[in-house]
C-alpha cells in the first residue's frame, strides 16, 4: 500500500499566489498586497519564471532605511535570491518545515521542474492543516511562547516602530500604557501589514504615531492553555498572534503562528506520522473490505449503478460525521455534535442520547429535534419514562429497529416505553465505553411510521461505536489532565503539613521580588522557628513532633488571609511567610498574630525553657527592593532578626533593619 502523509503538501500550498512583473512600480505592488491581504508578492517573467520575492518584512526594512519608494520599481528592492522547493521533490510538509527552520523564512515558493511558479507554501497554510493529535499531548502555550515582548507607547512614530521591527527582526510591536496598578496594559498592535498600509497611503511616517494607525489589542490566551486551544482561537479569529497573560490578566508573552509551527519536532512528527499512517492503513483496509462486500452484494442483487454510488456516498458521509465527532475531547461537545449530525444525516425528527448512571438516576445527556417537535430533555415526566428502562435489555451489542410502535403484537416492556414518549418509529443503538454499557443512541420519528433501511441501521451502529470511542478518549483526557494537576500540586507542597514546600517558596520569592522591584512596592518576609523543638521530640517522640508541626502549620495558615500571601515549610521546624505589598508595620503585626495564634494552641512542652507550652520565635523584615540587591538579602535580614529573637529569650518577634546599599 502506498504511503500517504498525514500532512499532505497539496493542502498547504497556495495555488493562486500574487504575482507581478519586476517593472511594476512598488506603490502599485503594495496596493495589490493590501487589496488581496497578501503578505508577499512574487516577481515573475514570462512564462511565470520566478525571479524574486517581496514580503511585508521587506516593507519594514525599506521603511526603516528611509528608502524613497515613490519612483522605485519592485524589482529594484525585492529579494532576488529566493529559496524554493520543487513540486516533484517532496510529498509532505516535514521537508518544508526543515527548510523554514534552517533558513528562517516565512514563504517558500513551489516551482516546477522548468522553474515556473506552481504556488507558495506559508506558515498560515501549514497551520490550517493541524489536527488535535498534532498538538494534543497536553503541550502548553507557556512552552513555546515568546517571553520577551517588544512594546512601545502610543506616541512612537511609525518610522521609529518600523526601525524597531527591523532591528529586532520581529513582525509586530505591542502598544501599551500603564494601568492603575503600574502594569503595562496592551491597547493596540502594530504589524508589518500596518507599515505596508501606511506606505500605500503615502503617510508621513515621522508625524504618524502609533495611536493614529494601531490595530485593536491582541486576543489573549493564558499560559497554561493548550496549543490546540491557541490554534483554534487563531483559526476562528483569523489572526496570526495571541497575547499570553497570567491568571491576573498581566501580559507575560506572545504566541505567533511561527512559534506554533516551530514547536513541531520534525523527528517526533515523522514518528507520529508513521504511527498514524499505520492506523490509517488499517482503517483503509477495513473500509476497502467493507466496500468490496457492499459491491458484491450489489452485484448479487443486480442493483443499478446509481444506487450503488448513492450507497457509497452515504458510507463516506457517515465516516466524515464520525471524524467530526472524534475531533473533540470535551464530552458535552461530542454528544451535542452526535445528535445534531445523526438527525441531519438520517433526516429524523428526533435524536437523543440517554446516559445510564450507575447507582444514580439516568438522564438525557443531549438531544436534537425538528423545529416542530417539543424537547424531552428537561421534562421530568418524560425523562422519568426513560429511567424505567432496564439496561440489561440493551447489554448486547445489537440495534433495535421498530418501524411502527403502534402496530399490534409489540409487547416488550422496554420497547413500549418508547411509545409513551410519543414516538411512532424508533431506532435504538447501545453505546459502549470500555465494554460497559454507557447509554443509548435513540433515533425517533413522531409523525408517521418509518421502515429503517439496513444501511441506516448499519451506519447508526458504526456511529454508536465511534461515539463510545470518543467518550472513552474524553474520559482519559480528563483523567490525564486531573492527574497532571495533582502531580503539580504534590511537587509544590510539603508532605507532612500540606503547606508549600521549600522549592515552591524559592520560586515564589524570585517572582514576588521581581514584581515588587518593578512596581516599587514593599515585600515582607517572616522566618518562623518552633522554640526548643528538638527537646519536644526527645520528650514526646517524633509522632507527637509531627502532630505539633501540623498544628502549627494550620495556625499559621489561618493568620494570612490574602491569596497572594504564602506560608511554606522552610525546613525541619522552620516556616516562612512571604507577604507581597506589605510594609514593615504590617509584617510586624502579622508576625505577632502568628506568635499569638500558636501560643493559644497551648500545646504542652515540658522541654521548653520559656513557656510550659509550644512557642515561636520570629524574624521579620520588609522593604522596597533595589536593582542592586537580590532576594537572598531579604532572607538573610529575616534570618538575622530571627537570631536576635532567640538570643533575646525566644517567644518573641524581632524586626530586621533595612540594609543600606553599601552593605548589600
Is 9-129's fold the same as 134-264's?
Answer: yes
Angstrom distances, CA of residue 486 to CA of 479, 495, 553, 627? 10, 13, 21, 36
Find where cell 438527525 sits.
343
Q: Classify burial at 265, counting beta carbons within 10 Å of its beta carbon; exposed 0-12, middle 13-18, buried 19 or more.
A: exposed
Sign of the dihedral defined by the CA atoms of residues 455, 457, 463, 468, in that order: negative
Query: In sequence order, which ranges of 347-388 are alpha helices (DSSP H)?
Result: 380-386
| pLDDT for the residue numbered 327 | 72
Name the average pLDDT for the chain.
84
Write the pLDDT tens digit of every residue in 214-257. Answer: 988 889 999 888 888 888 888 888 888 899 988 888 889 999 88
Q: Assess contact for 548 and 536: CB atoms under 8 A.
A: yes
Q: Assess contact for 535 and 524: CB atoms under 8 A.
A: no
Q: If one looks up domain 9-129 in CATH, what number appears?
A: 3.10.580.10
Say how far apart CA 499 and CA 554 lie, in whole Å: 9
Number of Cβ within 10 Å of residue 535's Cβ equals 14
| pLDDT for the residue numbered 184 | 86
Report whether pLDDT(546) > 90: yes
Q: Assess contact for 353 and 431: CB atoms under 8 A.
A: yes
Q: Assess contact for 188 and 151: CB atoms under 8 A.
A: no
Least-confidence region, from 3-7, 267-271, 297-301: 3-7
Let me know how long the chain is.
664
Give 272's pLDDT tier (boundaries 50, 70, 90).
low
| pLDDT for the residue numbered 332 | 84
> Domain segments of the chain: what residues?
9-129, 134-264, 326-476, 502-655
Report whether pLDDT(283) > 70: yes
Least-confidence region, from 16-25, 284-293, 636-645, 648-657: 284-293
Q: Is the peptide bond before 103 cis (omega within 30 degrees of 0)?
A: no
Residues 453-485 as b/e (b if ≥16 CB within 10 A, e otherwise) read: eeebbebbbbbbebbbebbebbeebeeeeeeee
Give 1's pLDDT tier (boundaries 50, 70, 90).
very low
Least-confidence region, from 59-73, 250-264, 316-330, 403-417: 316-330
Q: Classify burial at 313, counting beta carbons within 10 Å of its beta carbon; exposed 0-12, middle 13-18, buried 19 or more.
A: exposed
β-pair partners for 576: 527, 568
DSSP sequence for 525-546: EEEEEETTHHHHHHHH-HHHHH
Residues contacting residue 505 through CB under 8 Å, at least 6 positions apart: 566, 568, 570, 576, 578
In percent, the amount of the chain with pLDDT more than 90 equals: 33
Q: Assess contact for 511 and 581: CB atoms under 8 A.
A: no
In percent, the amount of the chain with pLDDT more than 70 equals: 89
Say how far apart CA 424 and CA 418 lie, in whole Å: 9
Least-confidence region, from 41-55, 64-78, 128-142: 128-142
Residue closest to 43 by CA, chosen among 73, 85, 15: 73
Report the Cα 586 to chain-centroid distance in Å. 39
User: Most distant CA pair in the chain: distance in Å?
Assistant: 104
Find where cell 518577634 sits.
653
Say how far apart CA 226 and CA 240 lie, in whole Å: 16
Query: In sequence order, which ranges of 171-329 are alpha helices (DSSP H)?
Result: 192-201, 210-213, 227-237, 257-262, 266-300, 305-326
Higher pLDDT, 278 or 576: 576
- For 155, which DSSP code? T
Say how far apart CA 275 and CA 270 lie, in whole Å: 9
Report whether pLDDT(55) > 80: yes
Radius of gyration of the chain (CA): 34
β-pair partners for 243: 220, 254
Yes or no: domain 326-476 corresponds to CATH 3.40.50.720: no
Report whether pLDDT(544) > 60: yes
Q: If one looks up domain 134-264 in CATH, what number appears?
A: 3.10.580.10
What is the grid cell recorded at 94?
516535514
Write the pLDDT tens digit of every residue in 483-496. Answer: 777 777 777 788 89
3-state class (DSSP) for residue 433: strand
Report whether pLDDT(207) > 80: yes
pTM of the model: 0.38
Give 3's pLDDT tier (boundaries 50, 70, 90).
very low
Least-confidence region, from 296-300, 312-316, 391-395, 463-467: 312-316
Say how far apart CA 218 and CA 172 lie, in whole Å: 11
| pLDDT for the residue numbered 609 | 92
Report whether pLDDT(10) > 80: no
- For 24, which DSSP code? S
| pLDDT for the residue numbered 502 | 92
Contacts of 264-272 with C-beta under 8 Å, sequence gap 24+, read 264/97, 264/134, 266/94, 266/97, 266/98, 269/7, 269/94, 269/97, 269/134, 270/94, 272/6, 272/133, 272/134
| pLDDT for the residue numbered 132 | 47
* Mean pLDDT of the 587-594 span: 96
Give 63's pLDDT tier (boundaries 50, 70, 90).
confident
Report whether pLDDT(416) > 80: no
Backbone angles phi, psi at 525, to 5 degrees: -150, 135
Least-confidence region, from 412-426, 515-529, 572-586, 603-617: 412-426
User: In CATH, which superfamily holds the domain spanning 502-655?
Assistant: Reverse transcriptase/Diguanylate cyclase domain (3.30.70.270)
Write the pLDDT tens digit of every residue in 451-483. Answer: 988 888 888 888 888 888 888 888 888 788 777
* Mean pLDDT of the 511-537 span: 95
Number of Cβ within 10 Å of residue 90's Cβ equals 16
3-state class (DSSP) for residue 295: helix
Amino acid at each position: 500500500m502506498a504511503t500517504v502523509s498525514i500532512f499532505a503538501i497539496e493542502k498547504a500550498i497556495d495555488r493562486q499566489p500574487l504575482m507581478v512583473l519586476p517593472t511594476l512600480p512598488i506603490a502599485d505592488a503594495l496596493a495589490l498586497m493590501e487589496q488581496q491581504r497578501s503578505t508577499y508578492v512574487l516577481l515573475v517573467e514570462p512564462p511565470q519564471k520566478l525571479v524574486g520575492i517581496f514580503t511585508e518584512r521587506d516593507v519594514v526594512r525599506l521603511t526603516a532605511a528611509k528608502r524613497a519608494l515613490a519612483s522605485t520599481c519592485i524589482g529594484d528592492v525585492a529579494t532576488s535570491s529566493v529559496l524554493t522547493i520543487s513540486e516533484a521533490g517532496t510529498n509532505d510538509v516535514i521537508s518544508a518545515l526543515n527548510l523554514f527552520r534552517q533558513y528562517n523564512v516565512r514563504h517558500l515558493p513551489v516551482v516546477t521542474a522548468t522553474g515556473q511558479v506552481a504556488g507558495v507554501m506559508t506558515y498560515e497554510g501549514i497551520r490550517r492543516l493541524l489536527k488535535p493529535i498534532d498538538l494534543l499531548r497536553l503541550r502548553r502555550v507557556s512552552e513555546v511562547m515568546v517571553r520577551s515582548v517588544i512594546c512601545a507607547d502610543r506616541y512612537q512614530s511609525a518610522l521609529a516602530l518600523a526601525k524597531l521591527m527591523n532591528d529586532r527582526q520581529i513582525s509586530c510591536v505591542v502598544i501599551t500604557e500603564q494601568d492603575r496598578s503600574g502594569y503595562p496594559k496592551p491597547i493596540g498592535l502594530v504589524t508589518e501589514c500596518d507599515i505596508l498600509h501606511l506606505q500605500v497611503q503615502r503617510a508621513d511616517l515621522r508625524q504618524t504615531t502609533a495611536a493614529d494607525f494601531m490595530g485593536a489589542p491582541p486576543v489573549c490566551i493564558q499560559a497554561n492553555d493548550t496549543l490546540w486551544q491557541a490554534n483554534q482561537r487563531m483559526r476562528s479569529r483569523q489572526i496570526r498572534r495571541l497575547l499570553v497573560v497570567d491568571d491576573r490578566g498581566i501580559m507575560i508573552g506572545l504566541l505567533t503562528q511561527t512559534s506554533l509551527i516551530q514547536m513541531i519536532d520534525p523527528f517526533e512528527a515523522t514518528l507520529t506520522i508513521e504511527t498514524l499512517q499505520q492506523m490509517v492503513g488499517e482503517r483503509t483496509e477495513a473500509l476497502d473490505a467493507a466496500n468490496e462486500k457492499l459491491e458484491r452484494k450489489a452485484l448479487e442483487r443486480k442493483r443499478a449503478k446509481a444506487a450503488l454510488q448513492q450507497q457509497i456516498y452515504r458510507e463516506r458521509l457517515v465516516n466524515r460525521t464520525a471524524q467530526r465527532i472524534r475531533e473533540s475531547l470535551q464530552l458535552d461537545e461530542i454528544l451535542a455534535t452526535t445528535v445534531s449530525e445523526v438527525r441531519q444525516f438520517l433526516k429524523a425528527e428526533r435524536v437523543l442520547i440517554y446516559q445510564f448512571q450507575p447507582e444514580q438516576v439516568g438522564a438525557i445527556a443531549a438531544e436534537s429535534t425538528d423545529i416542530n417537535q417539543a424537547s424531552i430533555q428537561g421534562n421530568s415526566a418524560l425523562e422519568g419514562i426513560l429511567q424505567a428502562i432496564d439496561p440489561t435489555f440493551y447489554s448486547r451489542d445489537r440495534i433495535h429497529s421498530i418501524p411502527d410502535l403502534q402496530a399490534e403484537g409489540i409487547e416488550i416492556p422496554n420497547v413500549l416505553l418508547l411509545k409513551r414518549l410519543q414516538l411512532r418509529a424508533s431506532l435504538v443503538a447501545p453505546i459502549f465505553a470500555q465494554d460497559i454499557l454507557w447509554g443509548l443512541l435513540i433515533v425517533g420519528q413522531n409523525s408517521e411510521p418509518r421502515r429503517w433501511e439496513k444501511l441506516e441501521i448499519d451506519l447508526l451502529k458504526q456511529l454508536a461505536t465511534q461515539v463510545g470511542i470518543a467518550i472513552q478518549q474524553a474520559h482519559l483526557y480528563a483523567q490525564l489532565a486531573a492527574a497532571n494537576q495533582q502531580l503539580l500540586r504534590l511537587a509544590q507542597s510539603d508532605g507532612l503539613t500540606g503547606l508549600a514546600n521549600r522549592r515552591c517558596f524559592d520560586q515564589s520569592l524570585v517572582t514576588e521580588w521581581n514584581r515588587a522591584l518593578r512596581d516599587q512596592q514593599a515585600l515582607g518576609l517572616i522566618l518562623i522557628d518552633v522554640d526548643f523543638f528538638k527537646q519536644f521530640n526527645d520528650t514526646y517522640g517524633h509522632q507527637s513532633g509531627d502532630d505539633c508541626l501540623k498544628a502549627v502549620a494550620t495556625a499559621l495558615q489561618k493568620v494570612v488571609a490574602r491569596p497572594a500571601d504564602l506560608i511554606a515549610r522552610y525546613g525541619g521546624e522552620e516556616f516562612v511567610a512571604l507577604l507581597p505589598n506589605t510594609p514593615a508595620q504590617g509584617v510586624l503585626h502579622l508576625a505577632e498574630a502568628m506568635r499569638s495564634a500558636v501560643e493559644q494552641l497551648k500545646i504542652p512542652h515540658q522541654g521548653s525553657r520559656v513557656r510550659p507550652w509550644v512557642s515561636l520565635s520570629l524574624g521579620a523584615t520588609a522593604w522596597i527592593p533595589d536593582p542592586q540587591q537580590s532576594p537572598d538579602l531579604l532572607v538573610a535580614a529575616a534570618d538575622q532578626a530571627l537570631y536576635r529573637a532567640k538570643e533575646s529569650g525566644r517567644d518573641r518577634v524581632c524586626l530586621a533593619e533595612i540594609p543600606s546599599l553599601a552593605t548589600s
